[in-house]
Amino acid sequence: MIFGVVPAGGKSSRMGRPKLSLPFQGRTVLECVLDALRLGGCDEILVVLGKQAADLEPLARTANAHVCLLNEDTADMRATVEVGLSWLEQRFRPSLHDAWLLAPADHPTLDAAIVETLRRSYLAQVEKSIVVPIFEGKRGHPTLFSWKHVQGVRSHTVGEGLNTYLRQHEAATLELLVQNLTILVDLDTPDDYARLLK
């Protein structure tokens, strides 16, 4: 199985208002991400919501996603992801043959075709246990991990993010060249949102 993990524990402080409920292409930002994951082939999807975004729970459930509500604020996205991975372990008991796809909730242009390409590329080979898309030399989102990396993420140096984890596992990483700028597009500020609407 492939589990989609959507960390949504941020406070949208740079946006100045809750960004995941902003409208984009006839849906909310969060719905765009969840639709792309489902259409791209994720078997189960989990949204990890912070307290300030708890009102998005009905929206996520309507989109056929599971919801994990954080009991307290997390230090960073990695900590939010770890809570989500523990939630999935308790409910689904994934095996080392399963995988998880990290898809930040503030990427409304996430393309289902990219998700599907990552999934197919991962399943078509056995040498690499991480698959990350790359556009013009830059890595983007989402990133696909074998479940065996869950323990590695947990034991990764405290205070360091998943980017440093990936750098330490270059030999296990398949860089997948894509012709799609959207893997680099996230939504942090009002200017970002204005550009997306154009």
How many folded domains does the chain comprise?
1
What CATH number is attached to the domain comprising 176?
Answer: 3.90.550.10
pLDDT of residue 159: 86
The packing angle between helices 112-123 and 29-40, to 10°, is 40
Rounded CA separation 146/129 (Å): 5
Lowest-pLDDT range of 11-25, 141-155, 159-173: 11-25
Find the domain containing 148 and state its range.
2-197
pLDDT, mean of residues 143-157: 96
pTM exceeds 0.75 for this model: yes
Reported as a single tens digit per residue, the pLDDT across 12-60 is: 556 756 788 899 999 999 999 999 999 999 999 999 998 877 789 999 9
Alpha-helix residue ranges (DSSP H) falling in 46-161: 57-62, 77-92, 112-123, 149-155
Q: For residue 82, what are its two tokens?
A: 């770890």
pLDDT of residue 58: 93
pLDDT of residue 192: 86
On average, the pLDDT of the chain sits at: 92
DSSP state of 75: S
pLDDT of residue 12: 58
Greater pLDDT, 127 or 195: 127
Lowest-pLDDT range of 71-75, 88-92, 136-140: 71-75
Residue 81 to residues 40, 50, 183, 196, Cα–Cα distance (Å): 20, 12, 19, 26
